[in-house]
Amino acid sequence: MTTISFGTSGWRAIMNQDFTFANAKICAQAIADYLQQQKVAAQGIVIGYDSRFMGEDFAAECAKVMAANQITAFLCQRETPTPVIAWEIIDKKRGGGINITASHNPPSYNGIKFSP
């Protein structure tokens, strides 16, 4: 079993080894739980992704988890830089944001950044 551990700005792992749809859904559920505990779930969540392999698909899966928790997901329609997600959270007063990105890590990695 994979240990999922969030660092300073999220969790990153090698795709198809530890970074899988199953593990991304576990992270998304934890984020949904957090939004509900913080009483900001009604504000919705922004979900974006970068240009890494299957980023859009991972973002869509996270949006499905949010929908299953009655949290509106504002899913970006194209690759979106992390600062744009942060701006959208503040500008639209969202409960938080998820960005599917491994940031500076090698191309074989992907990750989930969460911004409350």
- Output the pLDDT for position 31: 97
Per the structure, how many domains does the chain have? 1
Res. 1 pLDDT band, cuts 50 70 90: low
Mean pLDDT of 7-24: 92
Is 36 contained in some domain?
no
Q: Residue 75 forms beta bridges with which residues?
A: 47
Considering 5, 9, 103, 108, which one is annotated as catalytic? 103
Confidence (pTM):
0.94
Contacts of 9 by beta carbon, 8 Å cutoff, 6+ apart: 103, 113, 115
- CATH of residue 79's domain is 3.40.120.10
Res. 7 pLDDT band, cuts 50 70 90: confident
- Output the pLDDT for position 82: 92
- Output the pLDDT for position 93: 98
Q: Is 18 exposed, middle or buried (0-12, 13-18, 19+ CB in 10 A)?
A: middle
Is 19 contained in some domain?
no
- Output the pLDDT for position 107: 94
For residue 108, indicate whether it is catalytic: no
| Residue-wise pLDDT tens digits, 24-60 | 999 999 999 999 999 999 999 999 999 999 999 999 9
Could you list the residue range(s) of the whole structural domain that residue 55 is in? 43-116
